[in-house]
Chain A
Amino acid sequence: MKSFDFIQIVLILGFLVCVSPVLGGWIAKIVEGEKHLLSFLSPLENFIYLISGIREKEEMNWKQYALSIVGFSFLSFSAVFLILVFQGSLPLNPQNLPGVSWHLALNTAMSFMTNTNWQSYGGESTLSYFSQMVALTVQNFVSAAVGMTVLLALARSIRNKESQNLGNFWVDLTRTTLYLLLPLSLVLAILLVGQGVIQNFAPYLTLKTIEGASQILPMGPAASQIAIKQLGTNGGGFFNANSAHPFENPTAFSNVLQLISILLIPAALPFTFGKLIRSQKHGFILFVTMLTLLVVGLGLSLFSEYLPHPSISGTVMEGKETRFGVTHSVLWSVFTTAASNGSVNSMHSSLSPLSGGIALLNMLLGEIIFGGVGAGLYGMVIFVILTVFIAGLMVGRTPEYLGKKIEAQEVKMAILAVLAPNFIILAGTALSVVLPIALSSVSAKGPHGFTEIFYAVASGAANNGSAFAGLNANTLYWNLLLAFAICLGRFGVIFPVLAIAGNLAKKKITPPSPGTFSTETMIFVVLLISVILIVGALTFFPALSLGPIIEHFLWLEGKGF
């Protein structure tokens, strides 16, 4: 690793650290309906409310809020499913691609509706432009916005005193999409087009290569999807090779742009949260926690990737793009798994065992190191509640989180939110490593094959969507298992979080005193990280030891799989 690599990392992280508070504050203004830079669009906002019959001032309780999310998600799911199945008869299909199988459509619809964007298909060989734009790109926006709405409901529950109100789902959805995701995507798409990302409706090109062979070059409206793919922590690539594809990510600069946009909104949200709950310090503390976990993971990953391998001289470049090199590939692998994005610019299967393990661990911890838009932070709050509970008892009081007492009901829901994804990851992996129908999709052997399976299930359950590569996922078994894992991983967390919000909103706010366990100090950062690592490590240590850890030791001895 050269000093130049260091400087780039510091610049990228430094940019995020500087921009996050500003953007976070701005998002708080947007969602609160205050005056902001884009307020001139408010007639449009009001028009949307008018035609869809949304009463802006009407607040929802947690059940109404949850019901709205279910209704909206079901609608999204159905729309994507139908478009994919019938894309053969729909417009904007210059390649005349046929409709996809029911289980692939189901998997894809579930995956995009939940902001997972796991792709069992290859974009250019399976989907029409219509499917990509109307079905998938739309979901890229709204699924991110849905994650955001849950966070907003949670924040209001902490702020409100003895109330039922959590805000209005439809208003939150509209404002997030209209003022945050759309404008940012527009700017990013234009920047990306400037770097050479394609945006057209042309049929695929057939060209003659220098050797005289003929090659098909896929075309399409890529830039518009790529922008929101990164900003909305979606990660579903326009092309199968995702951001390793030169039409999606042509230059080093486009790579930096995309790297930053992966973390941009998730990193800003702790500050938004801090503003909303009237404790900017706590927001900052959550940001520090996430940043620390990110940096430690990144450090380990880089260390492992640059570790001299007994049988290879120099760094391992297999599966990586030469225009990005090792550092940018590792950065991406850490960012994309930390942020529940799931796009890739290198093949994670080709990372060193430990780097692959870090990518895996980022997902196993529950996608809370910045995590998905909204989802990362509400997932983090679950861990905050667990931490507050254990540590709060240790100071000799009924635990409180920002003045709200944490009692049996909150603990129960927090445990459920941790259990749901962990259950499906362990059970799904356990089944898949012994069932022949599952194993037939696995290409690698030994611990690497194990990691391949483990990674796929974790990626689904954690709603990340990145693939380890090597696993042929477009089979009935994998499509259904992963669709189920994705669904449980999404709603198995959202419902408990909203239930917690419903409970917290009803409570009084105990004013802080010197006897209160503070969630605004550096000790809290240490505690929170410990709880996250202990819960994650204790649950997955046996599995990790049979995958990346044993592979790492074998790799040190010069054995690869």
Chain B
Amino acid sequence: MSQNLLNSKIIKSSIPEAFRKLHPKVQYKNPVMMITLIGAIFTTGIVLFHYSAFEAQIALWLWFTVLFANFSESIAEGRGKAQAESLKKTRTQTIARKLNANGEEKIVADQLKKGDRVICEVGDIIPLDGEVVEGIATVDESAITGESAPVIRESGGDRSAVTGGTRVLSDRIIIQITVEPGHSFLDRMITLVEGAKRQKTPNEIALSILLSGLTIVFLLAVISLKFFADYSGTASGQDLSKIVTVPILISLLVCLIPTTIGGLLSAIGISGMDRLIQKNVIATSGRAVEAAGDIDVLLLDKTGTITLGNRMASEFVPAPGVKPEELARVAQLASLSDETPEGRSIVVLAKEKFQLRAQNYQPTQCHFVPFSAQTRMSGVDITADSIVHLIRKGARDALIKHIQSVGGRFPDEVNQSVEIIARSGGTPLVVSMDTQILGVVHLKDVVKGGIRERFNELRKMGIKTVMITGDNPLTAAAIAAEAGVDDFMAEATPESKLQRIRDEQEKGHLVAMTGDGTNDAPALAQADVGVAMNTGTQAAREAGNMVDLDSNPTKLIEIVETGKQLLMTRGSLTTFSVANDVAKYFAIIPAMFGGLYAVGGEGPLSRLNVMHLHSPQSAVLSAVIFNALIIVALIPLALKGVKYRPMGASSVLLRNLLVYGLGGLIIPFLGIKIIDVFIVFVRLV
């Protein structure tokens, strides 16, 4: 996806769009700019009836103010549109091979219905979103994720969802369609990035109300000023009608109302969504992005987020009287049929440490015992010299039960080793042969590098991290300590996850979590921000309010940051906009009333002309020009968002206050002065 913030193509297409947005129907939604537009029309009318070069320039800059605001919105939308275009290209008409009673028929994808079954083979484009009900295949999802590496999709389990518009690269799968045409993931994604149906988010609505309120206040201040001027004119016996004119009052009004934030508000919102899309996260609503900024509890799955996926065998701890080689050999035997990453890592470790090669056994000699929920063990039964040797590996409790049933004994020393390993955060895997316990394999979780620092940052931001794991409490505690999370939930089940979310919410927290499995769906739906992995099931993707196309659980942290950045940008620009008004008053009030009660020369209020602006006209025009140009100057900031650093609220506040509050106070004084000098120099006034 395009990382280019402002490319010339988008700028070019945004200019005509800015004019198109002058339509009252568009402007009506934004009261601040609506007032500016009315002011521009009014001033233009006055100029048409009674031309004056000064007022014509005012009118021109008022039009620019509105156009610049429109332009900012167009640019923000333009980026989304460009992305939507490229997505639309993948939504070509595909022919689906629909299964029916007689075999299969070929129909256009649009005619598929929810519940239909279709076949996809090598090279086929998957016609619509669905669930794999039969088979396994590799699928190229680059059209959606931008990631070229193919992914595996298979029936059953948590990797069964397929997305319309993606291409099957190998094998054959049967898919049950789960959506109606036009409502697919791709369709939703296109609407979202286009921003066509963008609704204002709660904070944006609240801010709009504040801005409208300020606009009314200034409207009152400016209208009443006309009356006050009339009184003052009469009282001083001066004629103020030449200087307190309608165009100047409109100029004052437009300068005072928060046009900067008002003009950029929708661009900020659109670009916030857009920044998430750049990170390959699709949010179903702006509301979700905003909620991400409010999150104060993160539920993170241990595996994949905090630790590097799988546990690895790291050590063989033999029982007393057992040689390490012997333990390694048996453990390797027990793991030969074990295709789990843990099992494979045992085979590898035995090979590395003791140069043991997996022996070849005839299938008749060898009977593999897969892991079952009842026994909670796996292993192998080897027949040698017509004696059956039972080789088992599993958790301690399971092995105690097993060894007692075959009449063996569980040595205390092994028990101690188990305790030591568990306390250190590892997973002890006890190995036995026949009635003898041979020792323990230490499976170790590898905590991701840099994750501890990440959690530290989150803590500074006021976000509590909770690690979710199926491990026992002892193991969980050790990893939690190593990774530096604030809390953990051991032996977690989907129900207990859901309950935990409810509990946190009850306490007033806002909770975010990631998930991929169908059993995560209730928790994803309950969480304030639920990020579903794109590799996950359809149910999970429907339940969450965001989908991470990269399926990277650590992404949650970036999502939170994006949400915060969005709110910070709004707040900072509002502060900036309001702070600007001080300088504008100091430009326009002395310009209007500098001559009031003057006895030859300058009047008392000309003392307020602290910027020493050249003339009343140059002062008013400079303020109006500054007001328009500042919108353009701030477009990049609105699109990029204010700089975000993980810090506590008070330091963030202090920093933003200094930059945008104090900056907003000072910059217009400089800006207006410079513009004044410039327009006097080029003789515009």
Binding site for B on A (CB under 8 A): 386, 389-398, 403, 406-408, 410-412, 415-416, 418-419, 422-423, 426-427, 429-431, 433-434, 445-447, 449-450, 508-511, 513-518, 521, 523, 527, 530, 534-535, 537-543, 545-546, 549-550, 553-554, 557, 559
Contacts and interface: CB of A to CB of B under 8 A. Distances in A.
A434 B230 contact: yes
Nearest to A409: B206
Contacts of A534: 578-579, 581-582
Contacts of A523: 650, 653-654, 657
Contact of A391 (B565, B596, B653): B653
B206 A407 contact: yes
B293 A450 contact: no
A514 B217 CA distance: 35
Contact of A510 (B509, B572, B585): B509
B638 to A, nearest CB: 14
Contacts, number: 220
B202 A538 contact: no
Interface of A is mostly: helix
Nearest to A410: B206
Closest 8 CB pairs of A and B: A515-B462, A393-B571, A396-B564, A553-B604, A415-B213, A513-B462, A394-B571, A430-B227
A515 B203 contact: no
Contacts of A542: 221-222, 224-225, 228, 585, 589
Interface in B192-243: 202-203, 205-207, 209-210, 212-213, 216-218, 220-232, 235-236
Contacts of A446: 235-236, 597
Contacts of A508: 508
A428 to B, nearest CB: 9
B230 A515 contact: no
B235 A406 contact: no
B567 A393 contact: yes
B593 A509 contact: no
A407 B202 contact: yes
Given A418-B213, A511-B509, A553-B604, A538 B206 contact: no
A450 B228 contact: yes
A545 to B, nearest CB: 5
Nearest to B563: A396
A397 B564 contact: yes
B463 A513 contact: yes
Contacts of A513: 296, 462-464
B65 interface: no
Contacts of B474: none
A538 B218 contact: yes
A402 to B, nearest CB: 12
A515 B227 contact: no
A434 B223 CA distance: 13
A130 B202 CA distance: 55
Contact of A397 (B228, B293, B654): B293
Contacts of B571: 390-396
B294 interface: yes
A434 B463 contact: no
25 contacts: A393-B570, A393-B572, A394-B575, A396-B565, A396-B652, A397-B294, A398-B567, A415-B210, A415-B213, A426-B224, A427-B220, A430-B223, A434-B231, A450-B228, A450-B235, A510-B508, A513-B462, A514-B459, A534-B578, A542-B225, A542-B228, A542-B585, A542-B589, A546-B229, A549-B605
A169 B306 CA distance: 54
B574 interface: yes
A438 to B, nearest CB: 11
B607 interface: yes
B656 interface: yes
A447 B235 contact: yes
B529 to A, nearest CB: 13
Interface of B: 202-203, 205-207, 209-210, 212-213, 216-218, 220-232, 235-236, 256, 290, 293-294, 296, 459-464, 507-510, 563-568, 570-572, 574-575, 578-579, 581-582, 585, 589, 593, 596-597, 603-605, 607-608, 644, 648-650, 652-654, 656-657, 660-661
A393 B650 contact: no
Nearest to B252: A542
A526 to B, nearest CB: 9
Given A419-B217, A433-B230, A446-B235, 7 more contacts: A407-B202, A408-B206, A415-B210, A534-B579, A534-B582, A539-B221, A553-B605
Contacts of B217: 418-419, 422, 535, 538-539
B223, B649, B652, most chain A CB atoms within 10 A: B649
Contacts of A415: 209-210, 212-213
A394 B223 contact: no
Contact of A554 (B232, B563, B564, B597): B597
Contacts of B661: 530
A546 B564 contact: no
A395 B231 contact: no
Contacts of B657: 391, 394, 523, 527
B650 A521 contact: yes
Contact of A546 (B212, B222, B232): B232
Contacts of B207: 389, 393, 411
A510 B582 CA distance: 35
B209 A411 contact: yes
Contacts of A559: 597
Contacts of B225: 542-543
A332 B433 CA distance: 96
Contact of A449 (B235, B574, B593): B235
Contacts of B593: 545-546, 550
A550 B589 CA distance: 11
A508 B296 CA distance: 14
A61 to B, nearest CB: 22
Contacts of A510: 296, 508-510
Nearest to B607: A553
A419 B507 CA distance: 35
